[in-house]
Amino acid sequence: MASPANEVGCLLVFGLGYCGTAIAVGAVAAGYRVVATSRTPEGKRPPHGVELIAFDAATDAIAAATHILETAAPDEHGDPALARHAVALAAAPSLRWAGMLSTTGVYGDRGGGWVDETTPP
């Protein structure tokens, strides 16, 4: 995984949905190398400058990442990236920052009711 000399860092985005795509595009524009995962990358076209890899094949990207963003929605077992890649994430040698974002969309239609940290996904 060669890096350009002017690269700011390497951002790994778990989940290239609406939010992940917007952040990835902004990071490319800011000079980051951006790698993003998809559970089914075959036939998908990532935004310009974004390298798309299979979610299960992220070990090398984790090792190269200076920044990691988790945007994939949790399932009944919790965070999918942590569940699948915990060992690699714990050992990530270049990591300077990690973050997670979520939207209320993971909770489905609650009919206008409140959603907070105690609401099950």
- As a whole number of angstroms, the distance between CA 26 and CA 40 comes to 23
Question: Can you give the pLDDT of all 121 residues of the chain as single tens digits?
Answer: 445 545 799 999 999 988 999 999 999 999 999 999 998 888 889 999 999 999 999 999 999 999 999 998 777 788 889 999 999 999 999 999 999 998 777 677 888 888 887 877 6
Structure tokens at 104: 């209320």
pTM for the predicted model, two decimal places: 0.83
Domain range list for the chain: 31-72
What is the structure's pLDDT at 30?
A: 97
98, β-bridge pairs:
68
- Find where tokens 């992220």 sit: 58
Q: How far apart are the first and last CA of the chain?
A: 36
